Amino acid sequence: MRQQFNKAKRWVIKIGTSSLTTAEGHFSHRNLEHIVSQVVTLLRSGIEVILVSSGAIALGMDTLKRTRRPVLLPELQACAAIGQGKLMKAYETAFSSRGFHAAQILLTRDGLQDRERYVNARNTILTLLKMSAVPVVNENDTVATEEIRFGDNDILASQVANLAEANLLVFLSDVDGFYLKDKTVIRQISSPEELKTYMTHVHAKRSEKTAGGMKTKLEAAYAAMRSGIVTVLANGREERIIERILKGEEVGSLFLPMPRKGNAWKRWLAYLESTDES
């Protein structure tokens, strides 16, 4: 399966806050540039890429010189509002210097459960891909709170992969794959049912600048698997990790999906069902 990743023509790559920050927790333009350079490798090989990027809160915190993640939601949303424009500027600068352009898409998880909004988001993203632009998706943190509190865009990434009919969903985090509580790395999960059996044996890890954890990543992977999307969880801080995934190297954890279901309407319904189950 991994050797066929170069045949996957549409990737969704979820970039966690940890992949965009230093070991000390500060936003790193160097890390962003490193990721963008690898994405451009995919683009030049004919692969369409949608990014779901965290990092706005961390960038806002750096701007305000705050070292600890705010507890109050209004303060989190304020940090996101300050950081989001700077995050998009960083992406556009990095992509445009390599001959491509980034396009900001702000979504909400509950908004995508509305059929009309789902279709509108899908049409916009697919049109951007036809224009050879790179959609950069983030939750609209100024009006929504689910991802800002709990998910670090993990569930949103799974939703975007489903609506865009992606062939591959990649989660870039600060871990080498799916860890159990005893720190064992599971390299391959063959079905949603198998993943369910592991859910109670999760090794949780969080940091000061991100809300995401292994639990939400597994919930997102479960929904993607149910939607027929191959998923990889890998360490975004590893050297040239995206290109290594493209080459089929055995990095991270691989989640194998169920067969893809029917048309876009059926996939939307199936996704709603899978998120309810997870």
**pLDDT tens, residue by residue, 41-63:** 999 999 999 999 999 999 999 99
Percent of the chain at pLDDT > 70 equals 84
* Identity of the highest mean pLDDT range in 89-98, 133-142, 225-234: 89-98
Distance CA 84, CA 49 (A): 20
Average pLDDT over residues 128-154: 77
Among residues of the chain, what percentage have pLDDT more than 90?
Answer: 58
Q: What is the mean pLDDT of residues 19-26?
A: 91
103 confidence band (pLDDT: 50, 70, 90): very high
- The residue with greater pLDDT, 142 or 76, is 76
The mean-pLDDT minimum among 40-49, 57-66, 76-85, 257-266 falls in 257-266
Burial of 92 (0-12, 13-18, 19+ CB in 10 A): middle
Q: How big is the chain, counted in residues?
A: 278
Q: Which of 137, 126, 122, 134 is nearest to 268 (CA)?
A: 122
Give the CATH number of the domain where residue 231 resides. Answer: 3.40.1160.10
Q: What is the mean pLDDT of residues 112-121?
A: 85
* Among 59-68, 105-114, 151-160, 172-181, the least confident range: 105-114
- pLDDT tens digits for range 162-215: 999 999 999 999 888 988 777 788 999 999 999 988 877 665 555 444 445 788
pLDDT surpasses 60 at 149: no
Q: Is the pLDDT of residue 240 over 80?
A: yes
Residue 150 pLDDT more than 50? no
| Domain that includes residue 158, residue range | 2-277
For residue 157, pLDDT beyond 90: yes
- Among candidate residues 110, 190, 154, the one with its CA nearest the CA of residue 14: 154
Q: Which of 53, 60, 58 lies closest to 83, judged by CA?
A: 60
Model confidence band, residue 141 (pLDDT cutoffs 50, 70, 90): low
Q: What is the pLDDT of residues 245-259, one digit of tens each?
A: 999 999 999 999 987
Q: Are 65 and 127 contacting, i.e. CB atoms less than 8 angstroms apart?
A: no
On the question of pLDDT at 107 being above 70, the answer is: yes
Determine the average pLDDT of the residues in 138-149.
64
The mean pLDDT of the chain is 86
- pLDDT by residue (tens digit) across 203-238? 555 544 444 578 889 999 999 998 889 999 999 999
Q: Which pLDDT does position 209 carry in this prediction?
A: 43
- Number of independent structural domains in the chain: 1
Model confidence band, residue 25 (pLDDT cutoffs 50, 70, 90): confident
Phi-psi region of 263 (alpha: psi -120 to 50; beta: other; left: phi over 0): beta
Asked whether the beta carbons of 70 and 15 are under 8 A apart, the reply is no
